[in-house]
Amino acid sequence: MQNNITRRFMMAATASVALFATTATSALAEGWAPQKPVEMVIMAGQGGGADRLARMFQAIIQKEGLSRMPMLPVNMGGGSGAEALRYLKDKEGDAHTIMATLNSYYTTPLRTDIGVNIEEFTPIARMAEDTFLLWVSADSGITSLDDYVAKVKTSGKDWKMGGTGTGQEDSLLTAMIEKTFGLEMTYVPFQGGGDVAKNLVGNHIDSTVNNPSEQMGFFRAGKSIPLVAFTPERLVQFPDVPTARELGHDLVYVMQRSFVAPPGMPAEAVAYYTEMFRQLSELPEWQKYTQDESLEPAFLTGNELQAYFLEEREKHRAILAGMEDGSS
């Protein structure tokens, strides 16, 4: 009897907690929910675009009560994300780990032998596509793409392009720029986009291809100048910056900002996180953020997302192959 009462009480308590949870989280799918804090692995170092974005997701998720359990961001930027990829692979079947991706999600397994095949990972959701601009420091006196190309041509290998690691998206974009304009620069790797941005303003490097969010603070303080945008259209935040296409060069490159999960994550958990991110993508905070930081919202999930990943991987394989030809 005693036991029965306890049990009933427990059931009532669970029900009311569940009720509370549902009211708080509007309409998250019933059923499976995380039982412990969810680890949010970030494939990059602190302060870069990926890091800021992931931490903002974490903050929104907690503020809006989209998850009953907190999200704990963990930076694993080592080796162009290899550390994170390997970590996720070893978490096979785990329901409490998700990972925020960059394009190094494709390139790192192609370049290094870490035993990771991204086909095995579980796709959750693509939140946005991030954009790139070419930046120089305000002290450089360079104001246009033509100036830039002329200056780099005379400097040759002394020209330092900063980035987040060989094989990272900025190094691919750098290779594409070099090819298009017939330039040769020295590519210097740093540990995150924030570090790159700081080193540009401190004049330790001469140019970068940062995401808008990484340079926004310096840009608004007048310390860095965007020369050209590698997007199909001009960016709302930078109406005066021409696109490469407008200037007659077909250079377009975007970076997906997505979430994936370990191989073999239980289907209920996948459904839970997918729904969580779908709700997040509809929030006004997120929509305002994408506009402020020049992100293109592009929500995609499930099989379509996996197909997109695999298609992009092939594109990157081609770019990487081109880079190797160029350097040898």
Contact residues: another protein, CB under 8 A: 46-47, 51-52, 55-56, 58-60, 62-63, 70, 72-73, 75-76, 78-83, 86-87, 90, 108, 111-115, 157-158, 160, 165-167, 186-191, 194-195, 197-199, 201-202, 204-205, 216-218, 220-221, 223
Name the residue nearer to another protein (CB basis): 34 or 302: 34
Q: Which is nearer to another protein, 187 or 299 (CB)?
A: 187
State in angstroms the smallest separation of the CB of 112 from another protein.
5
Positive or negative, the CA dihedral 203, 159, 109, 244 is: positive
Q: Which is nearer to another protein, 48 or 244 (CB)?
A: 48
- Pull the structure tokens for residue 243: 């696109």
Cβ atoms of 86 and 52 within 8 Å: the answer is no
Q: Which of 191, 189, 288, 172 is nearest to 230 (CA)?
A: 172
User: Hey, how many other C-beta atoms are within 10 angstroms of the C-beta on 310?
Assistant: 12
Q: How far is the CB of 8 from another protein (least distance, A)?
A: 32
What size, in residues, is the chain? 328
Q: Return d(Cα 8, Cα 43) in angstroms, integer.
A: 45
- Residue with smaller CB distance to another protein, 127 or 305: 127
- Closer residue to another protein (CB): 111 or 126: 111
Nearer to another protein, 70 or 326 (CB): 70
What's the CA gap between 81 and 77, in Å, rounded?
A: 5
Minimum CB separation of residue 72 from another protein in Å reads 6
CA dist list (Å): 297 to 68, 281, 283? 25, 8, 12
Q: In whole angstroms, how close is the CB of 326 to another protein at the nearest point?
A: 18
Strands 122-130 and 296-301 come out as antiparallel
Rounded to a whole number of angstroms, the minimum distance from the CB of residue 169 to another protein is: 14
Handedness of CA 254, 43, 84, 58 (dihedral sign): negative
Where b means 16+ CB within 10 Å and e means fewer, 213-238 reads: bbbbebbeeebbbbbbbbbeeebebb
CB of 246 to another protein, least distance (A): 28
160-163 and 186-189 beta bridge pairing: parallel
**Closest distance to another protein from the beta carbon of 62 (Å):** 3
Nearer to another protein by Cβ, of 272 and 289: the residue is 289
CB of 303 to another protein, least distance (A): 29
Closest to another protein by CB, 55 or 301: 55
The nearest distance, CB 9 to another protein, in angstroms, is 28
Residue closer to another protein by CB (options 136, 145) is 136
- Maximum C-alpha span of the chain: 89
Residue 193 has which token pair? 């986009």
C-alpha–C-alpha distance, residues 206 and 215, integer Å: 14
Give the closest residue to 327 by CA, choosing from 185, 147, 128, 123.
Answer: 185
